[in-house]
Homo-oligomer: A and B are copies of this chain.
Amino acid sequence: MAETLILHEDPRSGNCYKIKLTAALLGLPLETRAYDIMKGETRTPEFLARVNANGRIPVLEIGANEREGSTARFLPESNAACWYVAHGSALIPADRFGQADMLRWMFFEQYNHEPNVATLRFWLRFVGETNLSAEQRAQIMAKRMAGCGALELMNRHLANSDFMSGAAVTLADIALFAYTHVAEEGGFGLSDYPHIERWIARVQALPGFIAMD
Contact = CB atoms under 8 A, between A and B. Distances in A.
Given A114-B111, A156-B53, A101 B87 contact: no
A97 B53 contact: no
Interface size class of A (residues with CB under 8 A): 35 or more
Contacts of A104: 75-77, 80
A77 B135 contact: no
Contacts of A77: 103-104, 107-108, 111
- Copies in the assembly, this chain: 2
A96 B103 contact: no
A30 interface: no
A86 to B, nearest CB: 10
A115 interface: yes
Contact of A100 (B87, B100, B139, B142): B87
Interface in A49-71: 53-54, 62
A110 interface: yes
